[in-house]
Amino acid sequence: MSINSLDNPYDSESKLSHGSGCGCSSCSPSRADADIPQTQEEIIDRAVENAVVRSVFPNDMERRQFIKVVGKSTFMAALAAIFPMDALKAAVKESNGKLEKKNLKVGFVPITCATPIIMAHPMGFYSKYGLNVDVIKTAGWAVARDKSLNNEYDACHMLTPMPLAITMGAGSVKAPFLMPAVENINGQAITLHVKHKDKRSPKQWKGFKFAVPFEYSMHNFLLRYLVAESGLDPDKDIQIRVVPPPEMVANLRAGNVDGYLAPDPFNQRAVFENVGFIHMLTKEIWDGHPCCAFACSQEFATSMPNTYGAIFKAIVDATHYSAKHENRKSIAEAISTTNYLNQPQTVVEQVLTGRYADGLGNVKNDPDRIGFDPFPWNSMGVWILTQMKRWGYINGHVDYKKISEQVYLTTECAKYMKELGYTPPSSNYKTHYIMGKKFDPHKPEAYVDSFAIKKKVSLTNAE
């Protein structure tokens, strides 16, 4: 389901807005016959077409009806009359002038979420775009944040809430950051200590100590969401600690925490070491949730546009390559070595292929355990901001859409469209369903207010 953002926009059968439980052909697991672009050129073409069509038809139903009425070829011709589609595609592909800087440093935290950033190195995606990239292993998220702010890294693997938080100056120095691409969707899990095999309901977790990798993480927000949905207050009834991912298995073994909502391979590693079991995958909370991101400072993007363009394309290319299930085994082999993830290959392979042991005696088969889809939906950014507001990480008035649109660049295409004098697509929002509850990105404040359990902000604190 990871190539949703690349559906054929000219087809009246395809849906450009994929909700949970979407029944379209591209959302069903077997999409061998689906019309998906294969080569890198085709992918860029399709992304451009998609963005243009989206901007013309913010409402997907209208687009489909329109195509049904006038026919596909008329639609394409009509669109081509208004937009110089070919010129636009060419501009996106060839506007790369001379690279301002070839030797780049890209930071990553050794988890499977970073797969595209890492595998782009051994599998040659950076060099394909003329870049000489050093991917540098980083000890934790605070260090990744600081090294990015210090310009030690040109770009960095981050958690999707981080560029938002950094841009707003929440838990960080205030600096405008950009997130041109989401790295992975799904791919996390809740792991509990083996002694808790009988405590499978969050209601039984009162007093538990949980670890998450960072405060500004989907892990923290999803765990809080899940616990609150079952009636516990995550700030009072459980303890949530920040533990860097590589230290989680050791902490779980030592009984220092009862469980964690963490990135892989550390869920699978806990199973492999007979220390924990996989209680649930986070896709069961929100199927298709964003997790990690590819981010860089606005300064890097504006001062070195060609280099930025090249690395952006390399990442999108690598992400689409990672999305294909048939490539997953070879990727696991390439990235489990000492200089990248430094993990047993069996463990990494189970995460990426989705055929895994759950630690309870079952072999599960879930190809969508982790997905790779670079499209940074603005609605996802808004959801993250609502949760930051809900749990008191930000106070006062929040301009959800403005911040989300400033940080989550819907596509590189938007930039090139502006250069050519066109208005980039403004509608990159969709409705999400999280544990069955509807999230309308156009009514964020009402969504925050709809939760019974949330941080009580005293009136004096609120601006």
Partner 1 sequence: MKRETINAAIISLTLFAFAFILGEVFTSKGKKETKELTEYEILMGASEEKASLPGPIAVFSRAWQELSNPFYDAGPNDKGIGVQIFYSLGRVLLGYFLAIIIAVPAGFLIGMSPIMYKALDPFIQLLKPISPLAWMPLALFIIKDSAMSAIFVIFICSVWPILMNTAFGVASVKKDWLNVGRTLEMNAFQKAFQIILPAAAPTIFTGLRISIGISWLVIVAAEMLVGGTGIGYYVWNEWNNLDLASVIFSVLMIGVVGMLLDFLINRAGKLFVYTE
Q: Which residues bind partner 1 (CB under 8 A)?
A: 110, 134-140, 143, 146-147, 149-152, 173, 246-247, 249-250, 269, 271-274, 337-340, 342-344, 346-347, 350, 355-357, 359, 361-363
Q: Which is nearer to partner 1, 52 or 117 (CB)?
A: 117
CB proximity list for 398: less than 8 A, separation 6 or greater: 385, 389, 444
Q: In terms of C-beta distances under 8 Å and separation of at least 24 residues, what long-range contacts does 306-310 make, across chains too? A: 306/96, 306/97, 306/98, 306/99, 306/100, 307/99, 307/100, 307/101, 307/102, 307/104, 307/131, 307/154, 309/95, 309/96, 309/412, 310/96, 310/99, 310/129, 310/130, 310/131
Q: Which is nearer to partner 1, 145 or 313 (CB)?
A: 145
Q: Which is nearer to partner 1, 97 or 361 (CB)?
A: 361
Q: How far is the CB of 383 from partner 1 (least distance, A)?
A: 30
User: Rounded distance, CA 407 to CA 331, Å?
Assistant: 29
Q: How far is the CB of 267 from partner 1 (least distance, A)?
A: 13
Q: Which is nearer to partner 1, 144 or 226 (CB)?
A: 144
| DSSP notation for 312-341 | HHHHHHHHHHHHSGGGHHHHHHHHSSTTTT
Q: How far is the CB of 162 from partner 1 (least distance, A)?
A: 16
Q: How far is the CB of 205 from partner 1 (least distance, A)?
A: 25
Q: Which two tokens stand for residue 84?
A: 């110089």
Q: How far is the CB of 247 from partner 1 (least distance, A)?
A: 7
Strand partners, 393: none
Q: Which is nearer to partner 1, 190 or 347 (CB)?
A: 347
Q: How far is the CB of 150 from partner 1 (least distance, A)?
A: 4
Phi, psi of 337 (to 5 degrees): -75, 170
CB proximity list for 274: less than 8 A, separation 6 or greater: 194, 359
Q: How far is the CB of 239 from partner 1 (least distance, A)?
A: 23
Q: Which is nearer to partner 1, 14 or 172 (CB)?
A: 172
User: Rounded distance, CA 412 to CA 18, Å?
Assistant: 21
Q: Which is nearer to partner 1, 127 or 339 (CB)?
A: 339
